[in-house]
Structure 1
Amino acid sequence: MDGAVARPQRSGLRPPTAGAGRPAQRAVELRDPRGRTTLVTRPMPEQPGRFGRPVPGRGAEAFVDRVDPAALQTPAVRAVLANVARICPAFLPRQVLREGTRHVLVAGTIGRAPVVAKCLAPAALRGPQAAQLVDRFHHEVAVYRAFVRHRPPVRMPRLVAADHDRCVLVLERVPGRPAARERHPANAPTPGEVRAVLGAVRTLNLWRPPTDVFDQPLDYQTEIARFHSLGLLTDRDAGDLRALLHGLAAVPRQLCHGDALLGNMLLAPSGPVLLDWEQAGWYLPGYDLAVLWSVLSGDTAARRQISQLAQSGGTLARDAFLVNLTLVLMRELRIHDLPGAGEEQRIMIRRLYDDASLARRAVRAAVGTR
């Protein structure tokens, strides 16, 4: 709410104007002049290939996983490995990459081919969000299967096997490293890496597969109503967003990854690889760009480039990007603005509120120029 939390107002978003001689769609520029570096991220190890050292070899020899028998023997991991063995009897587990409350990732090999098994954690199937997590996993399985029939123009792990009922995916393991280790990294990727990531996202967004292959994961009206009821959007905010949405009713949807965080972008020898397709589908244009803009708070140049890309399609593209950006920022506030946050998280939350103010003013200015 505008009045609920007092946040310092910062300039940096040039509102659209209807002045003569300049089209309104060229007048919006999302700029963040702060460029502060306050959070600390862990240094990322060097990786082979285009973004690191030369590739030492192909296949399983490119990975030097340390086998950890103890990690492979936990009840959760043993349960998911039993499910993996049903569809891939030749799968040889080598290392637990992640054992979280939602997913378990186990690296291994099938013959000489390095693969990763991704499974829903047993605890997730018993939790309050079990139905939602199962639906998302089923959606990701459907996306990978659709990509077998309709090959996308971006690099992604090849599907090896899938079990829809038991929520198991076995995928090619691609050598590389995430573009960032944290959701909101302070140390942004290099300019070259940012350009590569934006290029991959832009290529995906411009792809036009058959419209019946993917669905529309996001109900914009429902999202506006939800954030309004939570107090993150004021009455005026909700009204402005609905006004922009009304003008976007006839705009064709754009295929988006849906969760284009830097942690879901693997910098591989062949270029960026997009991971975790649970939320892929048709969105208003610019959704993936809005996600990237929201997490690159420390990279003013990248944000300027994203803003220019998002608005290159004209006024409607600008309006769609602003709707997406506002809802993405509301979601980030909902995730991170929690009691008991430490100092580093409070700094990030203040940044998010500043960014939300920028987006809110841009939306109001865009409504005023229609």
Structure 2
Amino acid sequence: MYSSATTGTPTQTRTALRPPTAAGGRPGQGPAPYRDPRALATARGLLPRQADQLAARNGTDRMQRGRALEAATADRLDPAALQTPAVRAALANIARICPGFLPRQVLREGSRHILIAGTIGRAPVVAKCLAPQALRSEHAEQLIERFHHEVSVYRAFVRHRPPVRLPRLVAADHDRCVLVMERVPGRQAARERHPVSAPTPGELRAVLGSIRSLNLWRPPTDVFGKPLDYQLEISRFHSVGQLTDRDAGDLRALLHGLAGSPLQLCHGDALLGNILLAPSGPVLVDWEQAGWYLPGYDLAVLWSVLSGDSAARRQISQLAQSGGTVARDAFLVNLVLVLMREIRLHDVPGAGEEQRIMIRRLYDDAALARRAVRTAVGTR
């Protein structure tokens, strides 16, 4: 690892270098020739195959130690991040339900939520809390209601295990809006809401498989409500000019035809950032908006954010329309409303060049979805 100097006075050389040692460690018997595991194994009288196995084990051990060191470095305690007023208030609330919680890292300190990674004993956990500024905002009542709903969802999943992977509930405080969950090893499917690079085809198939399993599940619980009022959403986007009179009429016509169709259990916010790619498969997090939607809502959310991957969009569209005309119409209604929401969220003054490109794509996608809705209405 370190190289010795080759120049200098004889005195400096004697003090800087140690006497050469052989494999047995006795000084004065020449340099150590057996640093390679294969050579060391051969010197011990092992066969070549056994030498290969020993070298492989040594290499695996070094790799595992390197990964452990990397993980420890990633979770290194950050005193400065843990001393902000918002984080300290969150830690005080966490300590009320988990006195043994040891904070290690602030994963997120946003305007709505604070995520803190830590441990309880040897178990890695993540604590999610509502941020103090969220409790003082004009949307505080809605944010508190959503957090309470997420706590209820996690508690319901303890009694009725869903067919998808999600973090295990450790503790929750309904009144103080604190949720402590198992920390699942894995990485986000994408860090951006509208990622430049999509997951690999294999990862996308796994994600769609998990979403499909959830959508087909009929949980024996009344925890899940109807988070989205479709008629109200159409009227809202129509009133602000995002939907024309014809657009609103076409969507209401499709809704009328879907009046008797069964609803579907959806995650409600199936962005790639809310999906962890773990060794055991995709893990869904952030269940604040889970509930009963028209079929294909989660697929519409994924379609709306994967503008850079035409193959993924084609796969999502085929999956959404595999249930026939009813599934197609429901997916189109969901898609138009999701795209309207994305446009309203991102089309704001002061947008940079990259965001303006994304906004233009969203408008193009919305025009494409409108045409598909008109075609669907004409074929009913």
Between the aligned partners of 1:314 and 1:76, the Cα distance in structure 2 is 50
**Runs of 4 or more consecutive aligned structure 1 residues displaced over 4 Å after TM superposition:** 53-58, 61-64
Q: Please say if 1:216 is aligned against 2:226.
A: yes
Instruction: Kindly report which structure 2 residues correspond to 1:259-270, keeping only aligned pairs within 5 A, or say none.
Output: 259-270=269-280
User: Which of 1 and 2 has greater Rg?
Assistant: 2
Q: Please say if 1:193 is aligned against 2:176.
A: no
Which amino acid letter does the alignment assign opposite residue 71 of structure 1?
Answer: A
Q: Are the equivalent residues in 1 in contact too, given 2:152–2:223 (CA < 8 A)?
A: no
Q: Which secondary structure does the structure 1 equivalent of 2:150 belong to? A: helix
Instruction: Kindly report which structure 2 residues correspond to 1:176-191, keeping only aligned pairs within 5 A, or say none.
Output: 176-191=186-201
Q: Please say if 1:74 is aligned against 2:84.
A: yes
Q: Which secondary structure does the structure 1 equivalent of 2:198 belong to? A: coil
Query: Which residue of 2 is the match for residue 354 of structure 1?
Result: 364
Percent of aligned pairs with the same amino acid: 84
Instruction: Kindly report which structure 2 residues correspond to 1:295-334, keeping only aligned pairs within 5 A, or say none.
Output: 295-334=305-344
1:335-361 Cα deviation digits (max 9, x unpaired):
001111111000000000000001000
Give 2:182's match in structure 1, choosing from 157, 172, 183. 172
Q: Please say if 1:336 is aligned against 2:333.
A: no
Uncovered stretches (5+) of structure 1, i.e. residues with no partner: 1-52
Shift of 1:129: 1.1
Q: Which secondary structure does the structure 2 equivalent of 1:118 belong to? A: strand
Shift of 1:241: 0.3
Instruction: Kindly report which structure 2 residues correspond to 1:24-43, keeping only aligned pairs within 5 A, or say none.
Output: none
Q: Are the equivalent residues in 2 in contact too, given 1:284–1:320 (CA < 8 A)?
A: yes
Between the aligned partners of 1:56 and 1:176, the Cα distance in structure 2 is 17
Which amino acid letter does the alignment assign opposite residue 196 of structure 1?
Answer: A
Between the aligned partners of 1:295 and 1:62, the Cα distance in structure 2 is 33
Which amino acid letter does the alignment assign opposite residue 261 of structure 1?
Answer: L
1:137-176 Cα deviation digits (max 9, x unpaired):
1111111111111110100000000001100000000011
TM-score with structure 1 setting the length? 0.83
**Superposition RMSD on alpha carbons, in Å?**
1.8
Between the aligned partners of 2:81 and 2:220, the Cα distance in structure 1 is 43
Between the aligned partners of 1:132 and 1:119, the Cα distance in structure 2 is 15
Q: Which secondary structure does the structure 2 equivalent of 1:123 belong to? A: helix
Instruction: Kindly report which structure 2 residues correspond to 1:242-281, keeping only aligned pairs within 5 A, or say none.
Output: 242-281=252-291
Query: Which residue of 2 is the match for residue 128 of structure 1?
Result: 138
Uncovered stretches (5+) of structure 2, i.e. residues with no partner: 1-62
Query: Which residue of 2 is the match for residue 202 of structure 1?
Result: 212
Shift of 1:204: 0.6
Between the aligned partners of 1:314 and 1:237, the Cα distance in structure 2 is 22
Q: Which protein is richer in helix relative to its size?
A: 2
Give 2:169's match in structure 1, choosing from 142, 159, 178. 159
* CA 1:197–1:54: 2 relative to 1, 3 Å: farther
Q: Which secondary structure does the structure 1 equivalent of 2:132 belong to? A: coil
TM-score with structure 2 setting the length? 0.81
Task: Choose between structure 1 and 2 for higher RCO, CA contacts under 8 A separated by at least 6 residues.
Answer: 1
Query: Which residue of 1 is the match for residue 376 of structure 2?
Result: 366
Q: Which secondary structure does the structure 1 equivalent of 2:376 belong to? A: helix
Between the aligned partners of 2:230 and 2:366, the Cα distance in structure 1 is 17
Between the aligned partners of 1:105 and 1:63, the Cα distance in structure 2 is 18
* CA 1:158–1:63: 2 relative to 1, 3 Å: farther
* CA 1:244–1:303: 2 relative to 1, 3 Å: same
Shift of 1:230: 1.1
1:150-207 Cα deviation digits (max 9, x unpaired):
1101000000000011000000000111000100011111111111111111111111
